[in-house]
Amino acid sequence: MNDWPRPHYFFAVKLPDETKSFLSRWVGGAFPKDWFGRWVHPLDYHITMAFLGNVKENKVKDFSLRMADMLKEETAFPLTLGETGYFGKKDSPRVFWAGVQDSPPLAELQRKIFRLCLDEGFRLDQKPFRPHITLARKGTEHLEPGSVVKPIHHPEGTPHTFFVEQVVLYKTARRESPKYQELVVMPLKK
């Protein structure tokens, strides 16, 4: 049986359901749907910490036990949404995302997760960590250049803050929606 495309695996910060709902409502009210070709299902919102790619599931599930041991010593921390942005050309962005405000605890957590994955022998992308939540892909000709960058806030103008309390090992299921399956949930210390 041909299982192409093969699933990919990654470790990510799990967003609380309340944050996913808020972000989905906010994006729906702030941006026209026809600006991007593919919008991410709100249940798939996350912040990737280490993308493992196409690896053997049993290897990564076994490794996640080591990851969980490390993470149970890490303390949960607050994180605040920042503004939207994009990757790619200004007139044709390929990824539209929600950013977060600068967070030394998030950067340190990512560094530890990344290091443990490297120590285990996983090949990881060496680009600098740019924490973001992917919202959509494939900008269209309807897109107004430069208008995709907006601060994210509640109607009264206050920022949205949530607690980072869990890291999850996700598996992609590309033909499904939502397309990310939680394999292992690893709590941080509260």
d(CA 33, CA 38): 9
Active-site residue identified among 41, 132, 142, 154: 132
Q: Where are the alpha helices (DSSP H) in 72-144?
A: 104-119
| Residue pair 111/123 in contact by the 8 Å Cβ criterion | no
Is 154 annotated as catalytic?
Answer: no
Distance of alpha carbon 40 from the chain centroid: 11
In the annotation, is 132 catalytic? yes
User: Measured between alpha carbons, how far is 32 from 156 in angstroms, rounded to an integer?
Assistant: 21
CA dist., res. 162 & res. 10, Å (int): 22
**Residues 49/114, Cβ–Cβ less than 8 Å:** yes
**Residue among 41, 46, 153, 160 flagged as catalytic:** 46
**How far is CA 109 from its chain centroid?**
14
Task: Indicate which residues carry an active-site annotation.
Answer: 46, 132
